[in-house]
């Protein structure tokens, strides 16, 4: 099941992390999600507010115990993308509480030498995913149509 399909059908996964992602076909970006233990249906009438997921991949709204929807999956996908591009998480700490504080208060940084090799489209993709304002965070539909993914499918390198 893909993220966009899930969100179009009002399903939120709530635990996207590397262990729950399978790549069926890298050339066509056929990526499947597994482990739906925390997944649930959502709509404008049922506000979700449970604190679920793995700390490194939790968005600010879950850490702050605010209501949320499918935007939490986008954040988690952004964290995974960030890690794949530079080799470390965007928000971290020595304890779970430190990680939560970093998620809530630290600015997203892309100024290390690893980011010098990353395309502007890739950086834009990550920034759209990791927008701390859940109402301004990209949707799965917007991300599928993002220039970085379109270029990747057309044959250029994901990091270019």
How confident is the prediction along the chain (160 residues), in pLDDT tens digits per residue? Answer: 577 788 888 899 999 999 998 888 877 767 788 999 899 998 766 678 899 889 999 999 999 999 998 999 999 999 999 999 999 999 999 999 999 999 999 999 999 899 999 999 999 999 999 999 999 999 999 999 999 988 755 544 444 4
pLDDT at 134: 95
For the chain, the first-to-last Cα distance in angstroms comes to 28
Query: What is the C-alpha to C-alpha distance for residues 78 and 84, in angstroms, rounded to an integer?
Result: 10
Domains of the chain: 3-153 (1.10.510.10)
Overall pTM > 0.85: yes
Cα 17 to Cα 36, 65, 71, 77: the distances in Å are 12, 20, 15, 7
Exposed / middle / buried, residue 38 (Cβ in 10 Å: 0-12, 13-18, 19+):
middle
Catalytic status, residue 15? yes
Query: What is the C-alpha to C-alpha distance for residues 88 and 129, in angstroms, rounded to an integer?
Result: 16
**Catalytic residue (choose from 15, 121, 133, 135):** 15
Kindly give, in sequence order, each residue whose CB lies less than 8 Å from that of residue 80, ignoring residues fewer than 6 positions away.
16, 17, 18, 21, 57
Using the Cα atoms of residue 106, residue 63, residue 35 and residue 130 in order, give the sign of their dihedral: negative
CA angle 12, 118, 58 (to 5 degrees): 25
């Amino acid at each position: 099941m893909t993220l966009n399909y899930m969100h179009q059908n009002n399903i939120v996964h709530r635990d996207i992390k590397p262990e729950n992602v399978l790549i069926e076909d890298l050339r066509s970006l056929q990526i499947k999600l597994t482990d739906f233990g925390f997944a649930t249906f959502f709509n404008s009438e049922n506000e979700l507010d449970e604190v679920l997921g793995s700390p490194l991949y939790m968005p600010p709204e879950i850490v702050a115990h605010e209501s949320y929807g499918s935007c939490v999956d986008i954040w988690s996908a952004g964290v995974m993308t960030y890690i794949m591009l530079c080799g470390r998480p965007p928000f971290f700490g020595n304890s779970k509480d430190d990680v939560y504080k970093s998620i809530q208060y630290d600015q997203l940084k892309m100024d290390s030498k690893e980011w010098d090799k990353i395309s502007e489209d890739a950086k834009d993709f990550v920034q759209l995913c990791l927008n701390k304002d859940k109402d301004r965070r990209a949707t799965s539909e917007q991300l599928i149509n993002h220039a970085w993914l379109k270029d990747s499918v057309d044959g250029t390198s994901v990091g270019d």
